[in-house]
Chains A and B, each alone.
Chain A
Amino acid sequence: MEKNDQRKELKVSAIENGTVIDHIPTHSVYQVLRILNLTEYNDQLLIGNNLESQKMGKKGIIKVSNKFFKSDEINKIALVAPSATLILIKNFSVSEKKKVEIPAKVETIVKCFNPNCITNVEDVVTRFDVINKDDLKLRCHYCEKITAKDNMAFK
């Protein structure tokens, strides 16, 4: 177990294969779990929160065994945790590292905040233009109303 020795300093133990979501704002860890449906996940799942981080002061981290996220899921992570980094692990080593990025358009994954929007009444795929990435604001392609970070719900 040479590999384990190398990583004994880790606050959250290593995974063999899967994805590490690092640099999550501490208040967003549980939201990330929820929007990715990880609360129902049956394989190994390691969660750390309020860990020390040079970059962020405190951070959260989620390690998900045997899971590689699809672009839809990565966009969801970007919307709630724009600072997050995704680290793909294969055979205990890093195979790829990437920062999540808020896309210019968001489809399907977010619910429109306006209860009177047609997308909340009929089975219509939601579509938004991201009009502000820093102070996250999405404009609904249909009702033209703004859904902001504080009232964002996911489908």
Chain B
Amino acid sequence: MKNKSLVSINDFTREEHIHILDLAGAFERRPKQRILEDFVVATLFFEPSTRTRLSFESAATRLGARVIGFSEPGSSSVQKGESLRDTIRTVSNYADLIVMRHPREGSARFASEVSKVPVINAGDGANQHPTQTLLDLYSIRKTQGTLDNLNIAFIGDLKYGRTVHSLTMALCNYNTTFHLVSPAELKLPSSVKMHIKEKQLGYHQYTELSEVIPKVDILYMTRIQKERFQDPMEYEKVKNSYILRNNMLDNAKTNLRILHPLPRVNEITYDVDDNPKAYYFTQALNGVFVRQALLAAILGVVE
């Protein structure tokens, strides 16, 4: 994996995904190792994403790397009209690895082609966010002991949710049965469903959240955004139908865990947070270990 860019979840094979998860496990056991002291990591955030940036910077800093970069385009040469091509060419002189977030789809692939150093995509518009997918896989494996043969429910905005699309595609390698719960307007797009069908995996579609809960090992919650609806009345009708409350979990399997890419707004009520099935904050912590694994593997300090 040394010097390999990570732009799309499909850039790495199933074996490479598993390898990263194993490495992340080692960092979870020993998160502070100064193995990247000789390295500079650049975090270029052409649109703000505090959570993702801090997670990467925490991962790099805990391994002893120096971090340079910017957190929004207003504070960079972008505002002066510099092209992405020139920014990346310049920064790849200063850093050993570039982490970038950009509002345009395909920007990370393009950056990886003009950069002298490897690029990790921290989100390119609505396209890909592969480190989120890897930390989701890590969280699923950690809580279930396996990635194989699980029943996984996705709830909420399955149409526009980039996280849901990438994770669905990755899970198609593990004989997953999918339970898809969304309003009719926000169903999983056929371009993603195509991957499930190709592998001949089971999938079930629902509009009711409660009926799916007893059936699954993972509940992956997402936020439904008002602006996704053409008709605001439609949003008003469905907005409360996809809220998870603690008393809905009474019939859940004991191994069920609740994931959410965060930030949440109101789709999981606060009374769920103390339920041992709530896993979303630990999931965010896992992101640091997965990013440590990626930085170390791509910079070539671990095999």
Contact = CB atoms under 8 A, between A and B. Distances in A.
A122 B83 CA distance: 7
Given A118-B110, A119-B106, A143 B127 contact: yes
B107 interface: yes
A144 B110 contact: no
Q: Which of A116, A118, A142 has the most CB of B within 10 A?
A: A118
A122 B87 CA distance: 12
Contacts of A144: 8, 105-106, 127-128
A81 to B, nearest CB: 27
Interface string B95-137: 0000000111111011000000000000011111000000000
A141 B109 CA distance: 8
Interface string A74-93: 00000000000000000000
B105 A116 contact: yes
Nearest to B105: A143
Contact of B104 (A121, A123, A141, A146): A121
Main secondary structure of the interface of A (DSSP, over half): loop
Interface size class of B (residues with CB under 8 A): 10 to 19
B153 to A, nearest CB: 25
Contact of B105 (A123, A145, A146): A145
A142 B191 contact: no
A116 B125 contact: yes
Contacts of A114: 105
A143 B191 contact: no
Nearest to A119: B106
Given A116-B125, A118-B84, A122-B85, A140 B191 contact: no
B124 to A, nearest CB: 8
B125 A142 contact: no
Contacts of B125: 116, 143
B109 A142 contact: yes
Contacts of B110: 118-119, 122, 124, 142
B198 to A, nearest CB: 12
Contacts of A118: 84, 102, 104-107, 109-110, 124
Interface in A120-149: 121-124, 140-146
Contacts of B106: 112, 117-119, 124, 140-144
19 contacts: A114-B105, A116-B126, A117-B105, A117-B106, A118-B84, A118-B106, A118-B109, A118-B124, A121-B104, A122-B84, A122-B110, A123-B83, A123-B85, A142-B106, A142-B110, A143-B124, A143-B125, A145-B105, A145-B127
The 8 tightest CB contacts between A and B, nearest first, are A142-B106, A143-B105, A143-B106, A118-B106, A118-B107, A118-B104, A142-B109, A117-B106
Interface of B: 8, 83-85, 102-107, 109-110, 124-128, 191
Interface of A: 112, 114, 116-119, 121-124, 140-146
